[in-house]
Structure 1
Amino acid sequence: MMMPIISKIYCLSSEKVLVVRRRPHVVNGGGFVVTDYGSQRVVFRVDGCGVLGTKGELMLRDGDGDPLLLLRRKGGMVEALSIHKKWKGYSLEYEGLQNLVFTLKEANNYCLAKNSEIRISTHPRTISNKGWDFEISGYFPDKSCSIVDSIGNVVAQVGMKKEVEQVMESKDLYHVVVNPGMDQAFVIGIIAILDYIYGESTTC
């Protein structure tokens, strides 16, 4: 089943393996680059807040550098009083119009425990009647987690390939397996937010 959230052009009929590589630490909060595991071609880029100059804001671009998705954290007093922290993902239209395509909620705790609940709702709501459509299973900083839909199906997995582990002991290089039909741009947008939440390559 095809599940376009950003665009159907990022939904393939076969499994896709992508490699995420942090940008060099020259720019604080510089972001990361995503390549095709087979061809090494750049598929996506994520600009962190060090590139954009705004905290709590990220930009997902395609391989040519064109903007696909603006990721913005909701801040201020409302967030401080809320039990959840919220991120919103907006698709960018040709005329610069922003359309809300998903909301990610994380529990507003400061320890970010391994069982911290992170759930995503798509807009418009069409997939689930649970109040959310996807959740994160596992722990992103360990590079061992999955994006799971509301009925428990894994739609994408983050991990470390054995050959990658042998070359690099750090978590600067890891892979993402996107299941058939799942929107790759949406998956990388979620990973960009997780990267920021856990203080990795996109955070200033």
Structure 2
Amino acid sequence: MAVVVSKVYCSNSEVVLVVRSRPPVVNGGGFIVTNNYTENVVFKVDGCGILGKKNEVILKDGDGHDLLLIRKKGGVIEALSMQKKWRGYSKDFEGCEKLVFCLKEPNNNSCFFKKMPIKVSIESNDYKNQKNFQIAGCFPDRACSIVDSNGNVIAKVGSRKEVQQVMPSKDVYIVTIKAGVDQAFVIGVIAILDYLYDGSTKC
């Protein structure tokens, strides 16, 4: 199993989750994630409309306990960099923040660089599997995948067919996660993508 956040979120079989954005009345409210079959809430993501902070989201479990604090690094050096970095932190048993993963957001406005894929890396020293991933496809169209350095798809975002047949919507979609892959890590990455593409997590 590829444990990033917790082995609790690594399943022996493929998992299909449903993402539902919170009502637009809650500006930047975030979204909830349920199991496609049991409809139980597995994760909750709070956006800046709830947190009152920009460039920050929090991933929680179904009971509302914090799993990941995800924030965009600031500062002068970061502002001058061609790549903006988002970092996901978990808390250890003593309550200290521990860096888990990093997402590098290319500066697509730069005239010196062509549009580059979004890259994700696992920063935990305890993680012994492949540590480098990238986002393939188009998240705003709900048609993208998280792919490892060997080209293997570990998770895929797609439209929920029964929803699309009634009313096309990007507020409800599915995430299919391969067996053994940490679901909390995948949803953490999706939370950042949601923010980057002006989703429900962003004010």
Change (3 A) 1:116 1:170: farther
5+ residue gaps, structure 2: none
How many Å apart are 1:169 and its aligned residue? 1.2
RMSD over aligned CA atoms reads: 1.7
How many Å apart are 1:170 and its aligned residue? 1.8
* 1:27 corresponding residue in structure 2: 26
TM-score normalised by L of structure 2: 0.92
Spell out the pairing of 1:48-59 with structure 2 (5 A cutoff): 48-59=47-58
How many Å apart are 1:96 and its aligned residue? 2.7
The 8 Å contact of residues 127 and 133 in structure 1, kept in 2 or not, is answered as no
How many Å apart are 1:106 and its aligned residue? 1.2
* 1:123 corresponding residue in structure 2: 123
How many Å apart are 1:179 and its aligned residue? 0.4
* 1:137 corresponding residue in structure 2: 136
TM-score normalised by L of structure 1: 0.92
Amino acid at match of 1:137: A
Spell out the pairing of 1:41-190 with structure 2 (5 A cutoff): 41-110=40-109, 116-124=116-124, 126-128=128-130, 133-190=132-189
Percent identity, aligned pairs only, is: 59
**The residue matched to 1:101 in structure 2 has which SS?**
strand
* 4+ residue segments displaced more than 4 Å: none
Amino acid at match of 2:49: G
Give the Cα–Cα distance (whole angstroms) in 1 for the partners of residues 41 and 54 of structure 2.
Answer: 25
Amino acid at match of 1:102: F
Give the Cα–Cα distance (whole angstroms) in 1 for the partners of residues 99 and 46 of structure 2.
Answer: 19
Give the Cα–Cα distance (whole angstroms) in 2 for the partners of residues 57 and 96 of structure 1.
Answer: 19
Number of equivalences = 198
5+ residue gaps, structure 1: none
**The residue matched to 1:70 in structure 2 has which SS?**
strand
The 8 Å contact of residues 61 and 69 in structure 1, kept in 2 or not, is answered as yes
**The residue matched to 1:5 in structure 2 has which SS?**
coil
Tell me the alpha carbon deviations over residues 104-123 of structure 1, each in whole angstroms, 9 at most, x when there is no partner. Answer: 10101249xxx541111111
Give the Cα–Cα distance (whole angstroms) in 1 for the partners of residues 95 and 167 of structure 2.
Answer: 40
Give the Cα–Cα distance (whole angstroms) in 1 for the partners of residues 123 and 137 of structure 2.
Answer: 25
